[in-house]
Amino acid sequence: MRKPRSSESQSRPGRSGRWGFYVLTLSLFGGAILIEILLMILLDRNFWYAKKEININQANPIASIPPIRPEIASPEIGRRKADPTSISDGEMEIHVRVMYGDDLFQAITRMDNPLIRLEIRNYKGESVFTWEAPNAEEKRNRLNTWENSLFTRGFEFPATSTRAPDLVLFFVNSPKVLDETRGLATQYRLYCAVITFVNFLVVFLIYRGGLRPLGQIAGALSHPPEETPPIITSPRHEAERAYNVLARNTRLVRTHSSMTDHWENLDEGKLLSSVEDREIFWKPVLETIRTGMSYRSVYWIPAVCLESEEWETVGVRDDRDIRLFDREVFLAYCRRGKSPSLMWFDPERDELVEEGASVETRPWFISKIFQKEKLSGFLVATPKGSRDSCRLELPYFETLAQYLSQILTRSLERSEQLDRERFEVSIDLSASMGHDLTNILATGKLELETLKTAFKRGIVQVPDEKRPMVEAAVEGLRNTTVLLQEVVNVYRAFSFTREPRFEVMELSETIGEVMELYRHSTSRPVTYENVSGEQKVEAFADPRLVKLVLFNLLANATQAITARQRESKEPPGKVEVDCLYREGRAIFRVMDNGTGFRDTEGHRLEGVALDHIFHFDFSTKGKQGGLGLA
């Protein structure tokens, strides 16, 4: 039989599953950061294009450049521009100043002009000359501020004139559009915030809606098959909740299977209510429930504990749990008009409450266990987890309690089935033996009658001095044969239980007949007295079966008195039998001063154990085999 191993209620992935989950999580957030960087780069570039358009359309920096005079350029310099290595920077600067005039250089150096640099390129697009204003860095810091910038302050853009296509001018933000570019920067910052929020919101939703549930479920499923499937604590996704439902159902099925295995390994006919059953059935089953359902502790409280002063519960618990209740607390719970299955033990008030308001309160699962329709006891468990988790676990505990009730009911039905089978065998045996003994006794009785007739007719001669003694012996033997026949008839009546013949009978007369018959069949020093009185008590029953019951009750009473007299001869043994009417029923009672009903260990039978005297095959001896009061 496979025994579930305990596990923590929180799912913890295995080593490979844990690292795989970490890698996936880091990859997800790393990808989100990479996408965020790319989006910010694209957004910054788009911001530069938009800022350039504002500067060109609204500030038109080319218009502030002095007229260009390319017609006065030196032809020799123009030819040598094709080969930049053939002309020095000084010659090129002289050429540019001659060609475009000093006004251009003066315009570049003005602080109110966004122009910071010029560049001469040949027909190949190669730069052959570059000149930057001495105050270019100052212009950048003054005109490219953080107020009109997004991520960097290095904004500058090139522009060319149709009159001089080889001249490229570089501008920074124009003073004329400072307000417009500030507004543009604010607008793009808002875009950045929205994009960042949406990006990480998508990542969070993917993590919470897909990656985290898959990681939790994969970690939970990585447990060995023989272990109890763990429960995901604080599930946030439907997939996690669905897994928890599956895990709880798996726990329930495994626990039920193990409980059934324990029961099927018991001896046939066990009723699971004796003292020895606590060790061979209840403790293993309670341990199976505790480990299989991951409870802190599980207790079985027999119903007899509610009626007697003995508080003999059976329980199992882990080392971290303490015993949470005593008899008075539980009896107070049972006296409640309403008995919910989920209660909270409040140590300050020392009682069970329906809502645990204090942090110190501990949850209780309580369910009544029935054997058929009769209360057999209570199953009590202290679960782990949060309050919400306890409420989710409650239906599974109630289902488990129903399974336990079914097992107890099946044990009773199996015992009753065995009783019926033994009953049928006893009926057949009783009928066979009664028939055979009746034939033997009838033959003996016939021979005695023949002998008696022979004495009367003188066929058999006996001396006169011995004749009275012989006749007395023959008559005594005949009376003994008649008595034995009556005893056989009593036990033979057991075979009539299949088809009883009911008729109106007078109980007092029947009691007298059986008592007289039993008095002659025993040699015990016991007095038998019929105290029914003069009132006639009639009943509609089978006289043969009533005689059988009375005969067995007298035998049990005699046996109890004999057992008591081994210890003390006083008072003398006495059995009283009476009959009366009570609540429309005819009742006969057998009272004795013996030891009473006791088990094999000598303890007086009480409560549920005392009810077993009405089961067929009940016996107070070490081995069963009695008729009981069934």
Please indicate, yes or no, whether residues 415 and 544 belong to a single structural domain of this protein: no
pLDDT score of 621 more than 70: no
Integer Cα distance of 272 and 603 in angstroms: 18
pLDDT score of 10 more than 70: no
Please indicate, yes or no, whether residues 319 and 449 belong to a single structural domain of this protein: no
Q: Which of 26-35, 308-317, 619-628 has the lowest mean pLDDT?
A: 619-628
pLDDT in the model for residue 8: 41
Q: What residues have CB less than 8 Å from 131, skipping those under 6 apart?
A: 93, 96, 105, 108, 117, 118, 119
Mean pLDDT along residues 560-575: 82
CB 548 within 8 A of CB 493: yes
pLDDT in the model for residue 493: 64
Please indicate, yes or no, whether residues 377 and 462 belong to a single structural domain of this protein: no
| Better-predicted residue by pLDDT, 275 or 317 | 317
Q: Is residue 109 part of a domain?
A: yes
CATH number of the domain to which 337 belongs: 3.30.450.40
pLDDT score of 3 more than 60: no
pLDDT tens column, 231-242: 777 777 777 778
Please indicate, yes or no, whether residues 445 and 562 belong to a single structural domain of this protein: yes
| Better-predicted residue by pLDDT, 497 or 33 | 33
> Which one of 2-16, 168-182, 321-335 scores highest in mean pLDDT?
168-182
Please indicate, yes or no, whether residues 245 and 108 belong to a single structural domain of this protein: no
Beta bridge partners of 540: 504
Integer Cα distance of 308 and 604 in angstroms: 13
Beta bridge partners of 298: 316, 381
pLDDT tens column, 404-453: 888 888 888 887 777 777 767 666 776 677 667 777 777 777 777 777 77
pLDDT in the model for residue 13: 45
Helix 238-264 and helix 387-457, axial crossing angle in degrees, nearest 10:
20
Number of neighbouring beta carbons within 10 Å of residue 298: 27
Q: Which of 45-54, 303-312, 616-625 has the lowest mean pLDDT?
A: 616-625
Model confidence at 69, in pLDDT bands (50, 70, 90)? low
pLDDT in the model for residue 319: 54
pLDDT score of 5 more than 50: no
Please indicate, yes or no, whether residues 435 and 415 belong to a single structural domain of this protein: no
pLDDT tens column, 463-508: 777 777 777 777 777 777 776 776 677 666 666 655 677 888 888 8
Q: Is residue 3 part of a domain?
A: no
Q: Is residue 211 part of a domain?
A: no
Integer Cα distance of 107 and 482 in angstroms: 154
Q: Is residue 439 part of a domain?
A: yes
Please indicate, yes or no, whether residues 338 and 261 belong to a single structural domain of this protein: yes
pLDDT score of 612 more than 70: no
pTM of the model: 0.54
Q: What residues have CB less than 8 Å from 272, skipping those under 6 apart?
A: 263, 266, 281, 282, 407, 408, 411
Domain boundary among 196, 211, 230: 196
Please indicate, yes or no, whether residues 92 and 132 belong to a single structural domain of this protein: yes
Please indicate, yes or no, whether residues 300 and 317 belong to a single structural domain of this protein: yes
pLDDT tens column, 577-599: 888 888 778 888 888 888 777 76
pLDDT in the model for residue 469: 79
Integer Cα distance of 288 and 294 in angstroms: 10
CB 491 within 8 A of CB 434: yes
pLDDT score of 194 more than 90: yes
CB 73 within 8 A of CB 100: no
Integer Cα distance of 547 and 572 in angstroms: 26
pLDDT tens column, 503-537: 888 888 888 888 877 776 677 778 888 887 777 88
Q: Which two tokens stand for residue 273?
A: 């209510």
DSSP class of residue 280?
A: I
Domain boundary among 422, 441, 463: 422
> For residue 168, which of 117, 93, 232, 97 has the smallest C-alpha distance?
117
pLDDT tens column, 393-406: 888 888 998 998 88
Helix 467-492 and helix 543-565, axial crossing angle in degrees, nearest 10:
110
DSSP code string of 436-473? HHHHHHHHHHHHHHHHHHHHHHTSS---TTTHHHHHHH
pLDDT in the model for residue 11: 44
Domain boundary among 370, 396, 422: 422
pLDDT score of 568 more than 70: yes
Q: Is residue 475 part of a domain?
A: yes
Integer Cα distance of 255 and 1 in angstroms: 12
pLDDT score of 43 more than 80: yes
Please indicate, yes or no, whether residues 386 and 433 belong to a single structural domain of this protein: no
Integer Cα distance of 513 and 530 in angstroms: 10
Mapped to the 3 state alphabet, what secondary structure does 482-512 carry?
HHHHHHHHHHHHHHHHCCCCCEEEEHHHHHH
| Better-predicted residue by pLDDT, 435 or 197 | 197
> For residue 303, which of 228, 367, 388 has the smallest C-alpha distance?
367
Please indicate, yes or no, whether residues 259 and 114 belong to a single structural domain of this protein: no
Integer Cα distance of 215 and 11 in angstroms: 10
Q: Which of 28-32, 78-82, 313-317, 355-359 has the lowest mean pLDDT?
A: 78-82
pLDDT in the model for residue 136: 85
Helix 102-109 and helix 89-100, axial crossing angle in degrees, nearest 10:
100
pLDDT in the model for residue 219: 66
Angle at 88 between CA 83 and CA 90, to 5 degrees: 140
pLDDT score of 183 more than 50: yes
At 582 the three-state DSSP class reads strand
Q: Which two tokens stand for residue 622?
A: 């070490």
Look up the domain containing 88 and give its range. 16-196
Strands (DSSP E) found in 318-438: 342-346, 351-353, 362-371, 374-383
pLDDT in the model for residue 611: 66
pLDDT score of 1 more than 50: no
Model confidence at 81, in pLDDT bands (50, 70, 90)? low
Mean pLDDT, the chain, rounded, equals 76
pLDDT in the model for residue 347: 64
pLDDT in the model for residue 52: 86
φ and ψ at residue 585, rounded to 5 degrees: -120, 145
pLDDT score of 72 more than 70: no
Please indicate, yes or no, whether residues 440 and 325 belong to a single structural domain of this protein: no
Amino acid symbol at 418 = L
CATH number of the domain to which 434 belongs: 3.30.565
Number of domains into which the chain is organized: 3
pLDDT in the model for residue 34: 92
Q: Which of 80-89, 349-358, 359-368, 509-518 has the lowest mean pLDDT?
A: 80-89
Q: Is residue 597 part of a domain?
A: yes
DSSP class of residue 302?
A: E
pLDDT in the model for residue 372: 81
pLDDT in the model for residue 607: 62
**pLDDT above 90 as % of the chain:** 2
Parallel, antiparallel or unpaired: strands 538-541 and 351-353: unpaired
Model confidence at 197, in pLDDT bands (50, 70, 90)? very high
Q: Which two tokens stand for residue 598?
A: 């006791």
Four-residue CA torsion sign, 536, 537, 540, 543:
negative
Q: Is residue 520 part of a domain?
A: yes
pLDDT in the model for residue 122: 74
> For residue 53, which of 192, 219, 181 has the smallest C-alpha distance?
181
> For residue 386, which of 232, 506, 279 has the smallest C-alpha distance?
232
pLDDT tens column, 88-110: 666 677 777 766 777 778 888 88
pLDDT in the model for residue 348: 65
Q: Is residue 373 part of a domain?
A: yes
Angle at 159 between CA 156 and CA 161, to 5 degrees: 160
> For residue 546, which of 490, 626, 462, 619 has the smallest C-alpha distance?
490
Tell me how many helices (H) and strands (E) the chain has.
16, 15
Q: What residues have CB less than 8 Å from 295, skipping those under 6 apart?
A: 289, 365, 381, 382, 383, 384
Instruction: For residue 182, count CB atoms less than 10 angstroms from its CB and return exposed for 0-12, middle for 13-18, buried for 19 or more.
Output: middle
DSSP class of residue 74?
A: -
Mean pLDDT along residues 12-21: 58
Integer Cα distance of 377 and 303 in angstroms: 4
Instruction: Establish whether the linkage from the previous residue to 75 is cis, with ω within 30° of 0.
Output: no
